[in-house]
Amino acid sequence: MVQYSTGEVSKKLNISVRTIRYYDQIGLLVPSSKNESGKRLYSDDDLLMLEKITLLKSASLSLEDIRKIIGRISIERILELHKERLKADIRQMEKSFKHTNTLLNIIKLEGELRWDELMPLFQKTKTSSEDMWNSVFTEEEKELLTSSLPKLEDEPGNIRSWINIIKRIELCIAEGKSPNSLEGILIAEDMENLTKLTFGDNDLAEKFWEVRKSESESAKMGLYPIRQDVLLFVEEAMSLLKGNVSNKR
């Protein structure tokens, strides 16, 4: 019968010697035998048991729980528990991925992270945000907005057009250009085209815009805050654009 020293088991299964010795001390995995000098010797069955323990640990079971079930649980059940743990890890990774995209898009918008406004976005409870959406939009409208609106957690390229418009508006304001300037009208035209691509030909865009103009309602819905002077610039530029279109008719 092949037997392995603690060091050999450590290398074979990539588990630290300290961990293996600790399992012996607490009676979770006692080696099959010891030589005359007291050196621990592990069998192939011991290695299999150690692999089971490792899998159960990866499924977030405590050592005490593992001790209680290790002799009665099947490999199939161990793998099922491990699968559930992996699903939870994937969900957490997806959440972290979206948060990272949010930070990247905020940096593109602001040039820096505005922590005083950023933290409430992550801390806001989902329930309170959903309640506000439910009070303003119908289920059909919410479904359309969910599928169409650009989100900060999207890949940066997905909302680049909206970010560029906001940056162009901020540049106009910084340079003292008014909404009725050539650049203001061009921005309004680009925004109108982008709005049609996002919302389609319906009244939902105007309804959403009314909410977006309100700092308090935007905050309650968990929307990223946009400077009021930017919002006012957009409103005036769009109003002028609509006026010009009506006059041409």
DSSP per residue over 129-143, as a string? Answer: HHHHHHHHS-HHHHH
CA distance 84 to 71: 21
Angle at 15 between CA 57 and CA 28, to 5 degrees: 55
How far is the C-alpha of 219 from the C-alpha of 211, rounded, in Å? 10
Q: What is the mean predicted confidence (pLDDT) over 109-138?
A: 62
- What are the extents of the domains in the chain? 6-72, 88-248
Model pLDDT, residue 47: 94
In the predicted structure, residue 248 carries a pLDDT above the cut 60? no
**Residue 95 CB neighbours (<10 A):** 11
What integer is the mean pLDDT of 55-81?
84
Contact 230, 173 (CB under 8 A): yes
Let me know: does 244 contact 181? Beta carbons within 8 Å.
no
Query: Which residue has better confidence, 156 or 168?
Result: 168
Between 39 and 129, the more confident residue is 39
- Please say whether the structural domain 6-72 has been given the CATH code 1.10.1660.10: yes
Highest mean pLDDT among 68-77, 118-127, 140-149: 68-77
Q: What is the reported pLDDT for 125?
A: 47
Percent of the chain's residues with pLDDT above 90: 24
Question: Which is higher by pLDDT, 170 or 214?
Answer: 170
Residues forming a β-bridge with 33: 41
Whether residue 113 has pLDDT greater than 50: yes
Task: Indicate whether 25 pLDDT > 80.
Answer: yes
